[in-house]
């Protein structure tokens, strides 16, 4: 009787902890669904654009960035989801390695950005310059720039005259555009009680000096405003960074634990 009971216990015993297995599965499944949503939003935004003739904006196109991020997330979480469900060591190792690579890449970017702040600022400046140059060519870039300038209460990258980089806002006498020497309405300071946004509020502002422009727009560049915002919201920045890092670390640890348990299970059978 005791021998039969011991045999039954041996048959039902497993090195694989079901709590770890199913937690990793649902963890990966949640982010897998989220990745599909990101891809869907990116594809929808890309399809809804009337024209897409400017190839120079491809790498800074918010829709393309969403699609790329979504596809990478889909691949990683798919490996974790199926790997945990089927107890597949190869998929789990791919999941763990990919997640570790992404985490180390983000960590390296953060460290390099901190120690090489001037080079980071120049790189971001090139991105913003392209966004300003193609402001009228890409609706997503236009909405992104307007959102940044309204939220940070800034105009341009260095200052409001950066909008001369744009073909329509260029402040040279040869420019025939009706928007010559203007800045977008998102640079303008809000007027109390104004129900309808005056989209022409920034016309002719580039011809004014700093003190005159300060009466109607935010003359400070977004580069300085971004630095000021980060310095005054260090706790929020740290919380966001921690919020991004913890799920990745949890995924790496759980997948490694599950891999070890599956290997112990295989060894015990052999």
CB neighbours of 269 closer than 8 A, spacing ≥ 6?
A: none
Residue 27 lies in a domain: yes
Residue 181 lies in a domain: no
7, with CB counted inside 10 A (0-12, 13-18, 19+), is exposed
pLDDT at 190 over 80: yes
Q: Which domain holds residue 70?
A: 1-158+221-269
Domains contained in the chain, number: 1
Average pLDDT, the chain: 87
Model confidence at 5, in pLDDT bands (50, 70, 90)? very low
What is the per-residue pLDDT across 223-233, written as a single tens digit (0 to 9) for each?
A: 999 888 888 88
pLDDT in the model for residue 33 = 94
Residue 176 lies in a domain: no
CA distance 163 to 160: 6
pLDDT at 102 over 90: yes
What is the per-residue pLDDT across 147-170, written as a single tens digit (0 to 9) for each?
A: 999 999 999 999 999 999 999 999
Model confidence at 234, in pLDDT bands (50, 70, 90)? confident
Percentage above 70 pLDDT, the chain = 90
pLDDT at 2 over 90: no
pLDDT at 51 over 80: no
pLDDT in the model for residue 199 = 87
pLDDT in the model for residue 46 = 81
Residue 199 lies in a domain: no
Question: How many CA within 13 A on the CB side of residue 142?
Answer: 11
Residue 211 lies in a domain: no
Nearest Cα to 75, choosing from 36, 119, 45?
Answer: 36
pLDDT at 57 over 70: no
Residue 212 lies in a domain: no
Percentage above 90 pLDDT, the chain = 56
Q: What is the pTM of this model?
A: 0.79
């Amino acid at each position: 009787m005791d021998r039969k009971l011991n045999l039954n216990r041996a048959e039902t015993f497993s090195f694989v902890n079901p709590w770890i297995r199913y937690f990793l599965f649902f963890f990966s499944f949640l982010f897998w669904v989220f990745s599909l949503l990101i891809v869907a939003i990116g594809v929808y935004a890309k399809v809804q654009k009337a024209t897409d003739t400017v190839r120079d904006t491809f790498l800074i196109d918010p829709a393309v960035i969403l699609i790329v991020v979504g596809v990478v997330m889909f691949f990683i979480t798919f490996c974790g989801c199926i790997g945990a469900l089927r107890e597949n060591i190869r998929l789990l190792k791919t999941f763990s390695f990919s997640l570790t690579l992404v985490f180390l890449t983000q960590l390296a970017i953060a460290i390099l950005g901190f120690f090489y702040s001037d080079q980071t600022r120049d790189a971001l400046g090139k991105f913003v310059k392209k966004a300003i140059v193609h402001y009228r060519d890409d609706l997503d870039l236009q909405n992104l720039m307007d959102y940044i300038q309204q939220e940070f209460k800034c105009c341009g990258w260095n200052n409001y005259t950066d909008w001369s980089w744009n073909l329509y806002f260029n402040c040279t006498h040869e420019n025939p555009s009706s928007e010559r020497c203007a800045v977008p309405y998102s640079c303008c300071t809000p007027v109390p009680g104004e129900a309808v946004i005056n989209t022409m509020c920034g016309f002719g502002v580039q011809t004014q000096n700093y003190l005159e422009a300060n009466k109607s727009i935010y003359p400070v560049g977004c580069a300085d405003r971004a630095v000021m915002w980060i310095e005054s919201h260090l706790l929020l920045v740290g919380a966001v960074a921690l919020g991004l890092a913890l799920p990745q670390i949890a995924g790496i640890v759980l997948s490694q634990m599950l891999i070890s348990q599956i290997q112990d299970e295989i060894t015990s059978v052999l």
